[in-house]
């Protein structure tokens, strides 16, 4: 853990900037205008919940740029970071989306194949109070559909900011010390500002008993509620992307997801395909669990999940085997090769220690994935088979989506070559089987072998979702905030 502390110390920042070198960001100026491309969509995100990310570098460096095709939007966009992004003024200033290479076509936030997302978690170090804020992303050269809600920060607030993306490679511009990857090798769909300092302060507050991380509780399947470090949940890009959502209007303008914005004519919801959203907004409700939440300053203090909260809870309570970002994660590769440096840079952004190359191998990750995921997915089938899929194009149910995701993750992690076996099967059928036409019948979930855990405080309500999950029996999963 000394190495983790050293990394965190090197990255601790004030409210206006960091001390680490700039990595993985572009230095080109952002275009001042961005007209909407023909064919850009404004419908709510349905697919790409996971497994569709092709990874950074899909277009060879230096290769000629083909003409833009409006029907095939450029998956590589750039996001201009506002000045002082960790201050109240910086949080309330929209991030500007534009094309990384304008010859490949424009980028538009309302196009669900190009949408970028930003999420901040805020700590009051004096009290341990946590809150969430969701900075807005707009097209460069446009204005917000509704002015962003200005956040009020506590004195000496410690702020962490994280990024998510629907395309292949998001590049941060004018990023200061925000982290986008290693030089010339961005992560792809992930990035952060001040994350190590935030987690260092939050973990100190936990030790000082200023923050009480809620216990996981027990799902209706009788098992501990899952976390982002559970091999029953993880996919090819563990701990990636965000729970943030925005509102898009037919004219392409965007706004924070507030009641006023959602009431505008023609408003649709933009969501970020993610492990974090899948857990908090889909899987938890299906099996009677609740995510760790904090007041969302964007929406009047509504309890809301966030990447940082998920990781704090996972770090505190995930039982063995614990999934941490492996060297074969596509977003941790440099080219097609594993990189300890890039993997560690990703890991420190989600509150994980540095890799032990002798233990944290791709083969070990794949072995644990095969041992845990099929059993959990089969056990949860009675509940996930009647829950709606985040991607109807993949499957009509959450169960079918999850089994397909497992197969895709196995392929994209290169597991077959690492452990010399094909993709795991779930309940005796290929993981790609759609539950609408099962080849076998899942066994019902057994009752808990021990009495359900009693929540230490009253659980918070589940945050609003763009889809209504099927009603499920109540589990004992807890999602209250600290302190």
Tell me which of 42-56, 313-327, 439-453 is least confident.
Answer: 439-453
Cis check: omega of the bond before 321, within 30 degrees of 0: yes
- Please state the separation of Cα 31 from the chain's center in Å: 28
Does some domain include residue 254?
yes
Q: Across residues 372-376, what is the average pLDDT?
A: 97
pLDDT of residue 454: 31
Does some domain include residue 195?
yes
- Kindly tell me if the per-residue pLDDT of 60 is higher than 70: no
Contact in structure between 189 and 240 (CB atoms under 8 Å): yes
pLDDT of residue 427: 81
Q: Give the whole-angstrom CA distance, residue 351 versus residue 349.
A: 6
Helices (H), 61-112: 88-92
CA nearest neighbour of 348 among 182, 227, 136, 131: 182
- Kindly tell me if the per-residue pLDDT of 49 is higher than 70: no
CA nearest neighbour of 369 among 331, 326, 339: 326
Place 71 in a pLDDT band, splitting at 50, 70 and 90: low
Structure tokens at 175: 């990023």
- Kindly tell me if the per-residue pLDDT of 280 is higher than 50: yes
Q: Across residues 127-147, what is the average pLDDT?
A: 98
- Kindly tell me if the per-residue pLDDT of 165 is higher than 80: yes
- Please state the separation of Cα 341 from the chain's center in Å: 21
Does some domain include residue 315?
yes
- Kindly tell me if the per-residue pLDDT of 81 is higher than 60: yes
Q: How many CB atoms sit inside 10 A of residue 269's CB? A: 18
- Please state the separation of Cα 236 from the chain's center in Å: 12
Residue 77 neighbours by CB under 8 Å, 6+ apart: 97, 98, 99, 100, 107, 114, 116, 165, 167, 170, 171
User: What burial class does residue 93 get, using C-beta atoms within 10 Å of its C-beta: 0-12 exposed, 13-18 middle, 19+ buried?
Assistant: middle
Does some domain include residue 375?
no
Helices (H), 279-325: 284-286, 307-317
Does some domain include residue 396?
no
In the sheet with 254-256, reading across from the earlier edge strand, the strands are 254-256, 245-248, 268-271
- Kindly tell me if the per-residue pLDDT of 179 is higher than 90: yes
- Tell me the per-residue pLDDT of 338-347, one tens digit each, with 9 for 90 and over: 999 999 999 9
Tell me which of 22-26, 326-330, 473-477 is least confident.
Answer: 22-26
Number of domains in the chain: 1
- Kindly tell me if the per-residue pLDDT of 399 is higher than 80: yes
Q: Give the whole-angstrom CA distance, residue 33 versus residue 215.
A: 48
pLDDT of residue 72: 82
Give the distance between the most distant pair of CA atoms in the chain.
63
Place 69 in a pLDDT band, splitting at 50, 70 and 90: low
Residues of the domain holding 90 = 76-360
Q: What is the DSSP letter of 278?
A: H
Q: What is the DSSP letter of 102?
A: G
Q: What is the pTM of this model?
A: 0.79
Tokens 């938890």: give the residue.
284
Supply the angle between the helices 340-348 and 2-11 in degrees, to the nearest 10.
Answer: 70
Cis check: omega of the bond before 103, within 30 degrees of 0: no
Instruction: Give the percent of the chain with pLDDT over 70.
Output: 74
Does some domain include residue 118?
yes
Choose the most confident range, by mean pLDDT, from 12-16, 70-74, 94-98, 384-388.
94-98
Q: Across residues 91-110, what is the average pLDDT?
A: 97
Tell me which of 91-100, 181-190, 254-263, 426-435 is least confident.
Answer: 426-435
Does some domain include residue 242?
yes
Q: Give the whole-angstrom CA distance, residue 137 versus residue 145.
A: 11
Q: What is the DSSP letter of 305?
A: -
pLDDT of residue 455: 32
Q: Across residues 439-465, what is the average pLDDT?
A: 32
Tokens 């994209």: give the residue.
412
Tokens 């853990």: give the residue.
1
- Kindly tell me if the per-residue pLDDT of 59 is higher than 70: no
Structure tokens at 254: 């965007």
Phi and psi, residue 132, nearest 5°: -125, 145
Place 41 in a pLDDT band, splitting at 50, 70 and 90: very low
Does some domain include residue 51?
no
Place 275 in a pLDDT band, splitting at 50, 70 and 90: very high
The mean of the pLDDT values for the chain is 81
- Tell me the per-residue pLDDT of 188-231, one tens digit each, with 9 for 90 and over: 999 999 999 999 999 999 999 999 999 999 999 999 999 999 99
pLDDT of residue 182: 95
Structure tokens at 124: 């009051």
Tell me which of 68-77, 301-310, 390-399, 433-442 is least confident.
Answer: 433-442
Q: Across residues 370-398, what is the average pLDDT?
A: 94
């Amino acid at each position: 853990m000394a190495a983790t502390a050293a990394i965190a110390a090197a990255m601790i920042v004030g409210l206006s900037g960091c001390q680490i070198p700039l990595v993985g960001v572009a230095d080109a100026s952002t275009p001042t205008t961005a007209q909407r491309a023909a064919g850009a969509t404004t419908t709510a995100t349905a697919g790409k919940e996971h497994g569709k990310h092709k990874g950074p570098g899909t277009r060879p460096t230096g290769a000629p740029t083909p003409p833009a095709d409006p029907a095939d939007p450029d998956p590589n966009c750039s996001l201009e970071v506002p000045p002082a992004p960790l201050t109240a003024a910086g949080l309330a200033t929209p991030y500007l989306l534009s094309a990384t290479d304008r010859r490949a076509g424009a980028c538009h936030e309302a196009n669900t194949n190009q949408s970028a997302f930003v999420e901040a978690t805020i700590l009051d170090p004096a009290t341990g109070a946590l809150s969430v804020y969701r900075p807005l992303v707009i097209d460069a050269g446009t204005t917000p559909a509704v002015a962003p809600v200005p956040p009020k920060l506590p004195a000496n607030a410690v702020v962490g900011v994280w990024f998510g993306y629907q395309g292949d490679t998001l590049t941060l511009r004018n990023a200061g010390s925000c982290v986008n990857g290693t030089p010339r090798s961005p992560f792809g769909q992930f990035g952060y500002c001040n994350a190590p300092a935030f987690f260092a302060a939050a973990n100190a507050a936990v030790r000082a008993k200023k923050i009480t991380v809620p216990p996981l509780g027990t799902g209706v399947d009788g098992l501990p509620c899952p976390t982002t470090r559970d091999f029953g949940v993880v996919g090819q890009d563990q701990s990636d992307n965000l729970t943030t959502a925005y509102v898009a209007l037919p004219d392409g303008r965007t706004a924070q997801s507030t009641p006023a914005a959602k009431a505008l004519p023609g408003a649709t919801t933009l969501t970020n395909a993610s492990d974090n959203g899948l857990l908090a907004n889909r899987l938890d409700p299906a099996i009677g669990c609740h995510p760790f939440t904090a007041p969302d300053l964007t929406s009047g203090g509504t309890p809301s999940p966030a990447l940082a909260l998920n990781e704090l809870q996972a770090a505190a309570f995930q039982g063995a085997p614990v999934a941490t970002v492996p060297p074969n994660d596509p977003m941790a590769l440099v080219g097609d090769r594993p990189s300890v440096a890039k993997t560690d840079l990703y890991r420190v952004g989600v509150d994980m220690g540095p890799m032990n190359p002798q233990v944290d191998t791709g083969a070990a990750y794949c072995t644990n994935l095969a041992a845990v995921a099929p059993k959990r997915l089969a056990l949860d089938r009675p509940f996930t088979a009647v829950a709606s899929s985040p991607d109807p194009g993949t499957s009509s149910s959450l169960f079918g989506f999850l089994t397909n995701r497992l197969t895709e993750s196995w392929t994209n992690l290169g597991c077959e070559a690492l452990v010399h076996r094909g993709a795991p099967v779930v309940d005796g059928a290929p993981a790609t089987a759609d539950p609408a036409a099962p080849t076998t019948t899942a066994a019902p979930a057994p009752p808990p072998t021990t009495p359900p855990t009693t929540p230490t405080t009253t659980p918070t309500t589940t945050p609003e979702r763009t889809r209504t999950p099927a009603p499920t029996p109540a589990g004992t999963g807890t999602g209250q905030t600290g302190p």
